Amino acid sequence: MSNEILNYDKVAEASLAKAQRDGAETMWDRRAAQKTQCGFGEAGVCCRICAMGPCRVSPVPGKGAERGICGANADTIVARNFARMVAGGTSAHSDHARDIVHAMHHSSAEGPFKIRDEAKLRRIAAEWEIADADTKETYALAHELSAMALEEFGKPFGTQRFLKRAPQARQDVWAREDIAPRAIDMEVTTLMHSTHMGCAADYESLFRRGMRTGMSDGWGGSMIGTEFSDIMYGTPTARASSSNLGVIDAEMVNILIHGHDPNLAEMVVLAAQNPEMVELAKAKGAKGINIVGMCCTGNEMTMRHGIKIAGNFYQQEMCIITGAIEAVVVDVQCIFPALPELAKTYHTRFISTSEKAKISGDLFLKFSEETGLDNANEIVKLAVENFPNRDAAKVEIPDIKQDTMVGYSVEEIINHLDAVVNSQLEDKLGTVKPLTDVIYAGVIRGAAGVVGCNNPKQQHDYAHITVMEELIKRDVICVVTGCAAQAAAKAGLLTLEAKERCGRGLLEVCERVNIPPVLHMGSCVDISRILHIVNLCADVRGIDPALLPVVGIAPEWMSEKAVSIANYVVGSGINTYLGVIPQVLGSPNFTKLLTEDCQEFIGAHFVFEKDPIVMVDKIMEDMEAKRTALGI
Ligand code: XCC
Ligand code: SF4
C-alpha cells in the first residue's frame, strides 16, 4: 500500500488497513493496477477527437511522429486538449449554478425554497439594474432576478453582468484582448466547436478562447452559483464546526452528503431536523441523526449551518470504510463511481440523485426542485431505517477530529474589519480598505487563495498544508475553498489559535481582527468570493488587481474545473501556481505561452511547481516584486 504517499494524513493508515481486512478495494489498489501512466497522455499529445485517430505525436520534440493524420502538431493537440478541459470545468460549475437559479425560480414564501438573505437579493437586483429593486415584493423580485440570471447562460448579445465588479483597468484588458466572456453556454459551445477536428489549429488562439470560456465560469457560472445560493440559503457568517473522520458518530444515524450543489443538501438537512424523523431514529436504537459533509457539498453546508466536515476528496472511500455510514447521498461532481460497490462491503446505502450524475450500483432517486423536500424525506427515512442493519463488528471510526472556524464570506470579512477599525464610529466603513491598508503597510506581505482538490500525484494534504503553513509564517494571509479548505480544517489552520503559527505581522492582524490566519471562504464555486474581494481591494486603491501582491494556488488539483478556475484566475490578473503539472509539456510552445508569454497580454501567468516549499519561495519573490513595483 502506498503509505509513503499518505503518511501526512493521520487517519489514512488505519483506514486503509481496515479496508484490506474487510476485503474492500480502494483508489490505492486501482492506482497500483494502472501501473505506469501513459507518457503521451501525461504530455497532452494524444488526440482522439476524430475517428481517423487516435493519433499520438512525440512527447519529445524531434523524436518520432510530429503530426497526427490530419497534420495537427503537438502545439495544436495540446492546446485543444487543454481547452476541452476548460470547457468541461466551466460547464460543471455553471450547470451547478443553473440548478441553483432554477431553485430560486421555484422559491416561495411557503418554501421549501425560500429567500433567506433578502438584503442581498435587493443588492444584486440593484446591481443588475432592476427597477424598484428596493420596493418590489420579495418573491416577484426573486423570480425576475432568476429569469435574468438564466439569460446569462444563453443571451445572444453582450457579456457577463458581473464583469462590472472589476476595476475599469481590468475591464479594459478584457476588452482589448477579447476575453470578456459572453453567455456561458455560448462560450462552452463555441469552444467545443473550435476544438472540433479541422477547426482552430493556432495554439495561441485556442488558449485565448479557452481563457474566455474559463472567464465565463469565474465571472459567470461560479459567481452566479455563489451569490444566488447566498440569497436562498443565507450568506455565510463565521461559525464553529469540526472536521475529519472522527465527526462520524457511532451512536447516531450517519448520513454523508457528498457532491456540490446545496439544493439537495439543504433539503436533506431540513428533513433530518424533522422531529418525526428524529423519533424514528431513536426508535431504531440511534441517539439521533448526524449529517456529515464531504467535498464542496460539505463546504456549502458547513459555511451556512456548521455541518461537520467528514473530510475531503481523498477520504470519500475512508468514510464508508468506517462501517458507520447509513447512507451516502450524492448529487454531482467528484464522486467516485467506485462508491456503490464499496458500500456493498458494508451496510451503507449509496443514493445518487441527479440525472446528470446517475451512478449505477445501488439506488437512484431523482431529486427535483418541485419535489425537493419529499425526495429528501425519503432519503433520510431510508438512512434511518438502515441503522439496524449496521454490523457492529465492522465499525471502526478513527478517533481524530479537529475544531475549526468556517463561514468567511466577503460580507463577513468586511464585518470583522468594521468591528475593529470602526468600533468608535457610528457608521460602518463597509469596505475592505483596512485589509489593503495592512498589506500596503507591509504588516502582511500579501494574500493567497489556496484552492482545489487532492491528487495521488501529491501526498494527501501535504502540499496544501505545507504551502499554507509556510505562507502564514511569512505573513501572507490565506483564504481557502474546496478540498484545500478541508485540508486546512483538519490541520487546525482554521482556528484562532493558529495565529501562533504565523509571522509577527499576521499574528497581530489575526489578534486585532479576531480571525484565523487561514479563512474558509467556501466551496469551489465560491472562488468567485475570492475574485470579488481581490477586485474590491484593487478598487479601493484604484488599480488593476494584477498589481496587487496576491496569488492563486492549487497545490493538489485534479479536476477539469480546476483548469477552468486557473484560466479565469490568470485572466483576472492573478498569477496562479499549480502543484500538479497540467498535461501540456508535450508542447514547449504552449507551455511557454502559459508560463511566460501570457503575462504580456493578460498581466498574469501560470507557474508549475511540484515542491510546495520551492513554490512558496517563488510566491514570496513574486509578491515582493509586486510590492516593489507598487512602491510599498
Ligand atoms: Fe472536487 Fe469541489 Fe476538487 Fe474537491 S476541490 S475534489 S473539484 S470537491 Ni473543487
Ligand atoms: Fe488524429 Fe487529427 Fe483526428 Fe486528432 S483530429 S485524431 S490528430 S486525425
Q: What is the pLDDT of residues 610-629, one digit of tens each?
A: 999 999 999 999 999 999 99
Rounded percentage of the chain residues whose pLDDT exceeds 90:
94
H-helix segments, 23-73: 27-33, 39-43
Paired strand residues for 476: 446
User: Which residues have C-beta atoms less than 6 Å from ligand 1?
Assistant: 260, 295-296, 313, 334, 452-453, 482-483, 523-524, 559, 561
Could you please state the CATH topology (level 3) that the domain comprising 403-630 is classified under: Rossmann fold (3.40.50)
Per residue in 49-106, pLDDT (tens digit) is 999 999 999 988 778 899 999 999 999 999 999 999 999 999 999 999 999 999 999 9
Q: Is the CB of 48 under 6 A from ligand 2?
A: yes
CA quadruple 577, 578, 582, 586: dihedral, nearest 10 = 60
d(CA 618, CA 620): 5
What distance in Å separates the CA atoms of residue 344 and residue 260, rounded to the nearest whole number? 24
- 397/247 Cα distance (integer angstroms): 9
Percent of the chain with pLDDT over 70: 97
Sign, CA torsion 587/592/598/603: positive
Q: Which one of the ligands is nearest to 40 CA?
A: 2
Interface predicted TM-score (ipTM) = 0.96
196 CA distance to ligand 2 centroid (A)?
Answer: 10
pLDDT over 60 at 131, yes or no:
yes
Residue 109 CA to ligand 1 centre (angstroms): 33
pLDDT over 70 (residue 383): yes
Amino acid sitting at position 482: G
| Centre of ligand 1 from the C-alpha of residue 454, in Å | 8
Give yes or no for a contact between 480 and 519, defined as CB atoms under 8 angstroms apart.
yes
CATH 3.40.50.2030 range(s) for the chain read 245-394, 403-630
Q: Which atom of ligand 1 is least distant from the CA of 333?
A: 1
Strands (E), 289-333: 289-294, 308-311, 327-330
In the chain, residues under CATH classification 1.20.1270.30 are 74-233
Q: Give the model's pLDDT for residue 511.
A: 96
Burial of 457 (0-12, 13-18, 19+ CB in 10 A): middle
- Helices H / strands E in the chain, number of each: 27, 16
β-sheet bridge partners, residue 291? 255
Ligand 2 atom nearest to CA at 71:
2
What is the per-residue pLDDT for 158? 98
What pLDDT is recorded for position 425? 57
Ligand with an atom nearest the CA of residue 452: 1
What the block records as the C-alpha cell of 579 is 502543484
Q: Counting atoms of ligand 1 from 1, which one is nearest the CA of 561?
A: 7
The model's confidence at residue 3, banded by pLDDT at 50, 70 and 90, is very low
- Nearest ligand by distance to the CA of 199: 2
Report CA(82)–ligand 2 centroid distance (Å).
Answer: 15
Atom of ligand 2 nearest to the CA of 67: 7
CB 552 within 8 A of CB 482: no
* Per-residue confidence band for 20, with pLDDT thresholds at 50, 70 and 90: very high
- CA atoms of 133 and 156, how far apart (whole Å): 25
| pLDDT score recorded for residue 10 | 79
Cα distances (Å, whole numbers) of residue 594 to 6, 66, 83, 191, 584: 31, 21, 12, 18, 9
Does the pLDDT value for residue 2 go beyond 80?
no
Query: Distance between CA 288 and CA 273 in Å, rounded?
Result: 10
> Given a cut of 60, is residue 236 above it in pLDDT?
yes
Closest ligand 2 atom to 53 CA: 6
Question: What are the residues whose beta carbons fall under 8 Å from the beta carbon of 503, sequence distance 6 or more?
Answer: 472, 473, 474, 475
- 3-class SS at 522? strand
Domain 245-394 belongs to what topology? Rossmann fold (3.40.50)
**Ligand 1 pocket: which of 95, 226, 559, 565 to mutate (most atoms <8 Å of CB)?**
559
Secondary structure of residue 390 in the 3-state scheme: coil
Per-residue confidence (pLDDT) for residue 1, from 0 to 100: 40
For residues 551 and 614, what is the distance between their CA atoms, to the nearest angstrom? 15
Q: Is the CB of 405 under 6 A from ligand 2?
A: no
Alpha carbon distance, N-terminus to C-terminus of the chain: 50
From the CA of 388, how far away is ligand 1's center (Å)? 33
Question: Looking at ligand 1, which atom is closest to the CA of residue 295?
Answer: 8
Cis peptide before 545, with omega less than 30 degrees from 0? no
Rounded distance, CA 608 to CA 566, Å? Answer: 12
Does the CB atom of residue 201 touch ligand 2 within 6 A? Answer: no
Please check the confidence at residue 450 and state whether its pLDDT lies above 80.
Answer: yes
Atom of ligand 2 nearest to the CA of 54: 6
- CATH node for 74-233: 1.20.1270.30
Atom of ligand 2 nearest to the CA of 57: 7
Compute, in angstroms, the gap from residue 217 CA to the centroid of ligand 1: 15
Smallest CA separation from ligand 1 atom 8, residue: 295
Contact 384, 253 (CB under 8 A): yes
Find all residues with CB under 8 Å of 48, minimum gap 6, and list them.
54, 55
- Three-state DSSP state, 135: coil
Q: Closest Cα to atom 7, ligand 2: which residue? A: 68
- Kindly state the cell numbers that stand for 516: 484565523
Nearest-angstrom CA–CA distance, 244 and 491:
9
**How high is the mean pLDDT of the chain?**
96
Please state whether 288 falls in left (phi above 0), alpha (psi between -120 and 50) or beta: left
Pairing state between β 476-481 and 518-522: parallel
Q: What is the pLDDT of residues 538-576, one digit of tens each?
A: 999 999 999 999 999 999 999 999 999 999 999 999 999
Instruction: Report CA(297)–ligand 1 centroid distance (Å).
Output: 10
Residue 427 pLDDT exceeds 70: no
CA of residue 262 to ligand 1 center, whole Å: 14
- Ligand having the closest approach to the CA of 485: 1
Strand partners, 364: 352
CA of 53 to the centre of ligand 2 (A): 5
